[in-house]
């Protein structure tokens, strides 16, 4: 591999640095990032020590980092390298000895009062990718300020390495035990176990494994987990719980007459669902139903955060229950920031990441799978009927998304051009206004919308639409794809 490739710029995207294994995501580049993160932790530690001395509380304490990893190709080796680099920089490291869901690692960072953490994962990205996620001391994703600071420190020092001697095993075991206690106290598991029904769980060969099932054993509820074993190729699909990747789950739900199918992504921080008819539910159905459950049945209060591609229904539910609504760019770090500063009941993104009050300010596909099942049990209805009730009360909205392979530069140029030369209409529907918080969103007079956004982690242009009918939603998506693929991207 050439020196030029090894010294390629490191850029953190929506949630961490992600790249193709053996092309940009190499051992040499991971060492560079790990060294930059070590430099960051040491600078932060030095600042805290200066403050402590000024307050006459001088105690030298080495920074502590928790390191974990997913089931992708070589993830355990990249994680061990990260531990070696951090160790060489006089940072204490608690390294998980087996793959773990990202929410469990996030919990461990906060539970062990660590100064931060690293998760080697590319989450829901294609199998050829891997990634380096930084965790903040509170367990959530690192802020943009942190990742920018780490980026700036890349190559300030050559990576140091030192043999990592395993430590903190008991501490990590205790953190995992405390995570289980947290889930058991948050969800009414006795009620779920008493359900006389069958559910199917699909971790998509990721780190979710049998975690959801483990909380539901011992009652009348029948739980079957499919695709629980490690497969770095994820059965030939991207480990993202969306319709085109959930064929086995949909089929198994139909074959067994299950009440619901629950899915988690590659690192188990996102949730997906299949209704009793074997149809994939969008997050524009699941998230509003979870919010309704929390606000109406649990009588919980707080603000509602939706990212730029989330549903109109969240606004309508928030309004009906007197809950303050916040809109943010796409990326859970923006939700986490609000959860740290404000009283937030629920924050959600279209891709299945949900954070809830009373838990860590981070996505948790395990907790949210169980919470959605609790909402179903409370409603006493199958998911498809719950959605019909939702639409009757708050209006019909249907969501769809298309992903087009597109180089980042071309996708960004298209998004910018649409903002400057907005079409007067799309699929014969007049554009009333636009919003450019994150991408370019075309908004129509009935609150339907069409969004163009270049992915922050891979060469994919995402086109999203939410509309008052399935026909309108598909028409908007079809025309959106035609606009994106046209030789001249936008017709003024």
pLDDT band at 51 (very low <50, low <70, confident <90, very high): low
490 domain residue, yes or no: no
Contacts 24+ apart (CB under 8 A), 226-230: 226/200, 226/201, 226/202, 226/252, 227/202, 227/203, 228/203, 229/205, 230/71, 230/99, 230/205
Higher pLDDT, 331 or 370: 370
Residues 438 and 351 in one domain: no
Could you read off the pLDDT of 132-144 as tens digits, one per residue?
A: 999 999 999 898 8
Together in a domain, 385 and 403: no
More confident residue, 333 or 109: 109
Is 447 found in the same domain as 341?
A: no
Q: Specify if 492 maps to a domain.
A: no
- Write the CB contacts of 440 (distance below 8 Å, at least 6 apart in sequence): 415, 416, 418, 419, 422, 434, 451, 452, 453
| Model pLDDT, residue 55 | 54
Instruction: Examine the fold and report which residue of 364, 394, 424 is the final residue of a domain before the chain moves on.
Output: 394
Percent of the chain with pLDDT over 90: 87
My answer on whether 351 and 472 are in the same domain is no
pLDDT-based confidence at 333, cuts 50/70/90?
Answer: confident
Confidence class for position 13, pLDDT limits 50, 70, 90: confident
Lowest mean pLDDT among 40-44, 45-49, 365-369, 371-375: 45-49
Is the domain of 291 the same as that of 156? no
Together in a domain, 312 and 354: yes
Query: What pLDDT does residue 457 have?
Result: 64
Tell me if 491 is assigned to some domain. no
Domain final residue pick, 394, 425, 448? 394
- As a whole number, mean pLDDT of residues 5-31 equals 88
Q: Which of 332, 363, 394 is the last residue of a domain?
A: 394
When the pLDDT of each residue in the chain is averaged and rounded to a whole number, the result is: 93
Q: 258 and 165: one domain?
A: no
Total domains in the fold of the chain:
3
Does 43 score more than 80 pLDDT?
A: yes
Give the pLDDT score at 45.
Answer: 84
**Segment 295-312, tens digit of pLDDT:** 999 999 999 999 999 999
- What's the rounded mean pLDDT across residues 406-413? 91
Per-residue confidence (pLDDT) for residue 490, from 0 to 100: 43
Co-location of 351 and 440 in the same domain: no
Residue 237: which CATH number?
A: 3.40.120.10
- Specify the pLDDT at position 143: 87
Q: What is the extent of the structural domain holding 52?
A: 3-178
Q: Are residues 224 and 370 in the same domain?
A: yes
pTM (whole model) above 0.75: yes
* Strand duo 429-435 + 440-444: pairing: antiparallel
Among candidates 127, 78, 123, which has minimal Cα distance to 101? 123
Task: Give the number of other CB atoms < 10 A from CB of residue 314.
Answer: 22
Residue 89 lies in a domain: yes
Written in H, E and C, the secondary structure of the chain is CCHHHHCCCCCCECCEEEEEECCCECHHHHHHHHHHHHHHHHHHHHHHHHHHHHCCCCCCCCCEEEEEECCCCCHHHHHHHHHHHHHHCCCEEEECCCCCCHHHHHHHHHHCCCCEEEEECCCCCCCCEEEEEEECCCCCECCHHHHHHHHHHCCCCCCCCCCCCCCCHHHHHHHHHHHHHHHHHHCCHHHHHCCCCEEEEECCCCCCCCHHHHHHCCCCCEEEECCCCCCCCHHHCCCCCCHHHCHHHHHHHHHHCCCEEEEECCCCCCEEEECCCCCEECHHHHHHHHHHHHHHHCCCCCEEEEECCCCHHHHHHHHHCCCCEEEECCCHHHHHHHHHHCCEEEEECCCCCEEECCCCCCCCHHHHHHHHHHHHHHHCCCHHHHHHHHHHHHCCCEEEEEEEECCHHHHHHHHHHHHHCCCCEECCEEEEEEECCCCEEEEECCCCEEEEEECCCCCEEEEEEEECCHHHHHHHHHHHHHHHHCCCCCCC
Identify whether 112 is part of a domain. Answer: yes
Instruction: Kindly state whether residues 402 and 390 are assigned to the same domain.
Output: no
Do both 204 and 327 map to the same domain?
Answer: yes
**CATH code assigned at 460:** 3.30.310.50
Q: Residue 4 above 60 pLDDT? A: no
Instruction: Tell me, yes or no, whether 24 lies in a domain.
Output: yes
pLDDT reported for residue 73: 97
Q: Is residue 215 in a domain?
A: yes
What percent of the chain clears pLDDT 70, i.e. is strictly above it? 95
| 21: in domain | yes
What confidence tens digit (pLDDT) does each residue in 151-178 have?
999 999 999 999 999 999 999 999 999 9
Query: Is residue 5's pLDDT more than 50?
Result: no
Pair (279, 358) in one structural domain: yes
| Chain-centroid distance, C-alpha 247 | 21
């Amino acid at each position: 591999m050439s020196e030029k490739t090894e010294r390629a710029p490191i850029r953190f995207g929506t949630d961490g640095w992600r790249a193709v294994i053996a092309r940009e995501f190499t051992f040499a580049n991971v060492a560079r990032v790990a060294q930059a993160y070590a430099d960051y932790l040491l600078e932060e530690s030095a600042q805290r020590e200066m403050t402590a001395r000024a307050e006459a509380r001088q105690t030298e304490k080495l920074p502590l980092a928790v390191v974990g990893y997913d089931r992708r190709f070589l993830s355990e080796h990249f994680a061990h390298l990260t531990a070696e680099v951090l160790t060489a920089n006089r940072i204490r490291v608690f390294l998980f000895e087996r793959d773990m869901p990202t929410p469990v690692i996030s919990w461990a960072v906060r539970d062990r009062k660590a100064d931060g953490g690293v998760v080697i994962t590319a989450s829901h990205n294609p199998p050829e990718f891997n990634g380096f996620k930084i965790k903040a001391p509170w367990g959530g994703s690192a802020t943009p300020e942190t990742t920018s600071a780490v980026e700036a420190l890349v190559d300030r020092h050559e990576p140091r390495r030192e043999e990592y001697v395993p430590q903190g095993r008991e501490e990590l075991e205790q953190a995992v035990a405390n995570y289980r206690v947290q889930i058991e106290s948050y969800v009414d598991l006795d009620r779920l176990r008493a359900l006389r029904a069958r559910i199917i769980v699909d971790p998509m060969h990721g780190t979710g494994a049998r975690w959801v099932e483990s909380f539901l054993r011992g009652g009348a509820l029948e739980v079957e987990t499919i695709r629980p074993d490690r497969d770095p190729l994820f059965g030939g699909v991207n480990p993202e719980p969306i319709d085109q990747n959930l064929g086995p789950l949909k089929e198994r739900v139909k074959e067994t007459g299950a009440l619901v199918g629950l899915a988690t992504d590659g690192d188990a921080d996102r949730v997906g669902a299949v209704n009793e008819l074997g149809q994939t539910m969008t997050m524009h159905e699941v998230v509003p139903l979870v919010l309704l459950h929390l606000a109406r049945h649990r009588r919980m209060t707080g603000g509602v955060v939706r990212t730029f591609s989330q549903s109109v229904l969240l606004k309508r539910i928030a309004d009906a229950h007197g809950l303050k609504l916040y809109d943010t760019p796409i990326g859970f770090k923006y939700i986490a920031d609000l959860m740290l500063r404000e009283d937030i009941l629920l924050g959600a993104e279209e891709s299945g990441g949900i954070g809830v009050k009373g838990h860590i300010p981070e996505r948790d596909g395990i907790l949210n799978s169980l919470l959605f099942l609790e909402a179903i049990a409370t409603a006493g209805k199958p998911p498809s009927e719950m959605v019909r009730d939702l639409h009757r009360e708050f209006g019909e909205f249907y969501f769809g998304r298309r992903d087009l392979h597109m180089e980042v530069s071309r996708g960004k140029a298209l998004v910018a051009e649409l903002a400057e030369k907005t079409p007067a209409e799309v699929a014969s529907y007049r554009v009333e206004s636009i919003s450019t918080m994150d991408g370019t969103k075309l908004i129509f007079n009935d609150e339907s919308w069409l969004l163009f956004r270049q992915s922050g982690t891979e060469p994919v242009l995402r086109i999203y639409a939410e509309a008052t009918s399935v026909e309108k939603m598909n028409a908007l998506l079809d025309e959106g794809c035609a606009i994106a693929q046209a030789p001249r991207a936008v017709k003024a």
